[in-house]
Amino acid sequence: MAVLRLSTTGLEVHCDDPLSRLAGFLDSVLRGVGQVMFQNNSYAGLLFLIGIAYNSWLFAVAVLVGTVASTLTAIVLGADRILVRSGMFGFNGGLVGVALLYFLQPVPLTWACVILAAACCTIVMAAMLAAFDIWKLPALTAPFVFISLCFFLATARFGRLETTGFLPTAGLPKAAAVEGVASASTIAEGLFNGVSQVFFQGSATTGMLFAAGLLVASRMAFAAGLAGSLAGLLVAWGMGAAEPAIRAGAFGFNSLLVAIALAGTFLTPSWAAIAYALLGAIATPFVAAAAAAALEPLGMPALTLPFVLVTWIFLLASRRFPKFRAKPTA
């Protein structure tokens, strides 16, 4: 009698012996990786992981350690089983893992911090589930943003936290001038770098592997994600953002996430929802530029804060516009 079965979204486990539970746990971890782009889908998670490993083994291990630590914390604390099983307590931990390894030296203390930070992600996630229940609003990657910024800011007080030098230099924001000239290669590279930046990776190939992961899970997510990354990039270009930042995908990943969230994840798909998602993806680069400038005196990156803010606002607003309906399953 089969107790493990592959479904269209990953592993189905129908037994409670230790081996099945381990298999179920590993499947939850892969779904956690997939949930970074809203996909409750182990195959998507696996492709995302392969995409990261293609660029850097270190970051792939960091994502796994973070996702495992936060998922385990949720199990130990007795969080809702269905949420744990669908990876909802994993994705923030996975992002914290890669963020800490990106901005802090890969020394043992940093790995210990990844485990503590990922455990804290689960607690912040549970807190936000409790707080946002009134509005039926998702927590998105807010726990990751909050916990990561805490650890990065703490480097200003804790001498044993060693940074990699990738954190922005603290300074006072000043009016930008147009830098560099965007070409066709800026657009092409920026489009896929925007996808790969969701996990802090700057590789067009990784971006393509991520896009493949999206395609496996949902054609709507694939189309919305690429269109979102492109929209963010084009708006930033039109507004005179620096060419290297555009090429690096810095204005793509937040728009990508907004577009997937609005066009097919939390709203019932419709032409109105697609137009609304496009408006969100267009507004996001402004919030991204503003958030980056607002954090400049602290020398901190904005991470996915712009995506979180724009998605919350557009989802809340959608309740007042009868054109849009919340997706029942989300």
Restricted to residues 108-167, the positions that interact with its own copies (CB under 8 A) are 109, 116, 119-120, 123-131, 134-135, 149-163
Nearer residue to its own copies within complex by CB, 148 or 193: 148
Q: How far apart are CA 109 and CA 256, in angstroms?
A: 33
> Which of 95, 248, 258, 292 contacts its own copies by CB under 8 A?
292
> What is the separation, in whole angstroms, between the first and last Cα of the chain?
33
In the region spanning residues 194 to 253, those forming contacts with its own copies, defined by CB under 8 A, are 236, 238-242, 245
Residue 46: C-alpha distances to residues 10, 40, 58, 210 (Å): 10, 12, 16, 10
Nearer residue to its own copies within complex by CB, 19 or 127: 127
> Which of 205, 319, 326, 327 contacts its own copies by CB under 8 A?
319
> Which of 219, 294, 326, 327 contacts its own copies by CB under 8 A?
294
- Work out the number of other CB atoms within 10 angstroms of the CB of residue 82: 8
Minimum Å distance from CB 60 to its own copies? 26
> Which of 1, 82, 174, 181 contacts its own copies by CB under 8 A?
174
- The four Cα atoms 39, 41, 47, 51 give a dihedral, to 10 degrees, of 30
Minimum Å distance from CB 43 to its own copies? 29
Using a 10 angstrom Cβ sphere, with 0-12 exposed, 13-18 middle and 19 or more buried, the burial of residue 133 is exposed
Nearer residue to its own copies within complex by CB, 4 or 137: 137
Q: Per CB under 8 A, does 279 bind its own copies? A: yes
Q: How far apart are CA 20 and CA 27, in angstroms?
A: 10
> Which of 77, 107, 188, 326 contacts its own copies by CB under 8 A?
77
Nearer residue to its own copies within complex by CB, 54 or 237: 237
Nearer residue to its own copies within complex by CB, 6 or 239: 239
Q: Per CB under 8 A, does 308 bind its own copies? A: no
Considering only the stretches 36-44, 48-56, 61-69, 317-325, report the one whose residues sit in contact with its own copies under the rule CB under 8 A.
317-325
Nearer residue to its own copies within complex by CB, 10 or 285: 285
Q: Which amino acid is at 252?
A: G
Closest by CA position to 191, among listed 248, 145, 124, 271? 248
Nearer residue to its own copies within complex by CB, 19 or 112: 112
Using a 10 angstrom Cβ sphere, with 0-12 exposed, 13-18 middle and 19 or more buried, the burial of residue 104 is buried
Q: How many CA atoms lie within 13 A of 289 on its CB side?
A: 18
Minimum Å distance from CB 211 to its own copies? 26
Q: How many residues sit in the footprint of its own copies (CB under 8 A)? A: 78
Q: Per CB under 8 A, does 29 bind its own copies? A: no
φ, ψ dihedrals at 163, nearest 5°: -90, 160
Closest by CA position to 304, among listed 200, 206, 163? 200
